Amino acid sequence: MTAMKLHGDTLSPFVRMCLVTAHEVGLGTKIQRDISRVDPTTVNAGLAAVSPVGKVPVLVTDHNHPLYDSRVIIEYLCHVSGNKTLIPDDGVKRFRVLTLAALGQAIAEAGVAWRYETAVRPQGLQWREWMDRQRLRVAAEFDDIEKNWIKDLAEVTAGTIAVAVALSYIDFRIPDWQWRTDRPKLQAFHDAFSDRPSMQATALKAA
């Protein structure tokens, strides 16, 4: 298999979810990287050339086919590698995993949106009520995982990857959210999962 190319920096949790998946399914060395940054108010010419969406991540396959949205890329990596563990075929388990992955994605989406609102939007234009709603939303998501998903977090799946990466992003960008408070099981999961080689190989570093 020739190399695939993934557009996006690991500072994006969605890019990192794809890279962690690639390492978990044995494709980590098969992916080249384009880590040019994407600004929310300007067009990235290289990215626009492969995706009309203009957002990371984008994976250009070894057949030169662009795939976009992290969920599509993750499923593709599982498919092309023949991995049936991260996204199981069994219906009940499959949709349980995909729902957990959606929770992780939602945490990451809220975190990225908060980051843009507080660090990128011009001062004085922040929407406080919207920001308060994001805090309530992610708190509910953290609590739901702590209460209802701990058994599922014992396995390595697309769902646990999404949650682990999202929590790492929150630690890196928004430590004030303090998601560990009163959530010891979630903390134990994240501490253990962060030691996996796939997470270590994609560890976040300050720009």
- What pTM, to 2 d.p., does this model score? 0.96
In this structure, are strands 4-7 and 66-68 parallel, antiparallel, or unpaired? unpaired
Q: Domains of the chain, with CATH numbers?
A: 4-81 (3.40.30.10), 91-195 (1.20.1050.10)
Q: Cβ of 46: how many Cβ atoms within 10 Å?
A: 13
Q: Specify the 3-state DSSP secondary structure of 207.
A: coil
Q: What is the pLDDT of residue 158?
A: 98
Residues paired with 6 in a beta bridge: 33, 59
| Burial (CB count <10 Å: 0-12, 13-18, 19+), residue 109 | middle
Rounded CA gap, 189 and 172, in Å? 17
pLDDT tens series, the chain, 207 aa: 568 999 999 999 999 999 999 999 999 999 999 987 788 888 999 899 999 999 999 999 999 999 999 999 999 999 999 999 999 999 999 999 999 999 999 999 999 999 999 998 998 999 999 999 999 999 999 999 999 999 999 999 999 999 999 999 999 999 999 999 999 999 999 999 999 999 999 999 875
